[in-house]
Amino acid sequence: MKIAVLGSGSDGNAVLVNEGRTTILVDAGFSGKTLQDRVNAAGFCISEIQALILTHEHSDHIRGAGVLARRCKIPVFGTEGTFRNGRRKLGDVNGLKCIQGGQSIEINNLNIKPFDISHDAEEPVGFIIENGTSKLGICTDSGCVTQLMRQRLKGCDALILESNHDSTMLLAGSYPWILKQRIRSRIGHLSNDDAGKFCEEMWHSGLQHLFLAHLSKENNMPDMARMTAEDAVRRAGCKNGETRIHVAMQTLISEVITI
């Protein structure tokens, strides 16, 4: 399975997943043009995308979904709540397909299992994507670590996990108090420390790649997020190089990795 984070942060999110002749996107939070450019930069063509699956209806995840679905005539998978709240942003799309936490779907040779997460959207989900031999976990936009997250994300070969903010920077920063409270709440975003604790708990020697995602521009620094995660996996027993840690950026695509 090949994986590339096409960009991540509050200005847009998208992940490309490829297995043989199957290529899908998880979220499409960029304009149609940007999506096309970044899919190309990852070595793929937008016409190869066979399906789009959505985590939730916030603009940074859904902005380009309608354009992409209409242009490529592909189905869009999302929860009922995502479609209900995201209808205006999606526009007219044929082929909306409802998914539900806990119920797997198959797209050719990929098995995709959504699971509920804790975020201030109507029915947000994370995903486990498996090809029979490898397992990818995607979990961004989660205000807290839940028991379900622990269960679902166990044993991943690659994990894309939110590491949104440094708590001290957020509290000292310029955001209005109400926004700070929202971000810190159980339906907001995971801090570097939250992500670190989760990684320490979940780390196993089969975790080849860890992507830290959805970093705040204002309240985080890539090095801080990386160091927190590096310390965490080291405490869990990770020796040098066993797990590669990538920091997903807003304006650049990640390396294309294979698991």
Q: Which residues bind Zn ion (CB under 5 A)?
A: 58, 60, 141
Cβ distance 233 to 245 under 8 Å? Answer: yes
Q: How far is the CB of 54 from Zn ion (least distance, A)?
A: 11
CA 26 – CA 6 distance, rounded (Å): 10
Q: How far is the CB of 91 from Zn ion (least distance, A)?
A: 20
**Closest CB to Zn ion among 1 and 117?**
117
**Closest CB to Zn ion among 141 and 166?**
141
Q: How far is the CB of 10 from Zn ion (least distance, A)?
A: 6
Cβ distance 9 to 215 under 8 Å? Answer: yes
**Closest CB to Zn ion among 19 and 141?**
141
**Closest CB to Zn ion among 58 and 165?**
58
CA 101 – CA 123 distance, rounded (Å): 9
Cβ distance 11 to 31 under 8 Å? Answer: no
Q: How far is the CB of 21 from Zn ion (least distance, A)?
A: 30
Cβ distance 137 to 160 under 8 Å? Answer: yes
CA 147 – CA 152 distance, rounded (Å): 9
Minimal CA–CA distance to 35: which of 76, 78, 66?
A: 66
Q: How far is the CB of 133 from Zn ion (least distance, A)?
A: 30
**Closest CB to Zn ion among 214 and 226?**
214
Task: Give the nearest residue (CB) to Zn ion.
Answer: 58
Cβ distance 259 to 209 under 8 Å? Answer: yes
**Closest CB to Zn ion among 116 and 141?**
141
Identify the sign of the CA torsion 69, 73, 79, 81: positive
Cβ distance 2 to 18 under 8 Å? Answer: yes
Q: How far is the CB of 164 from Zn ion (least distance, A)?
A: 9
DSSP assignment letter at 169: H
Q: Which residues of 154-167 are buried (b: 16+ CB within 10 A; e: fewer)?
A: eebbbbbbbbbbbb
**Closest CB to Zn ion among 60 and 166?**
60
Q: How far is the CB of 9 from Zn ion (least distance, A)?
A: 8
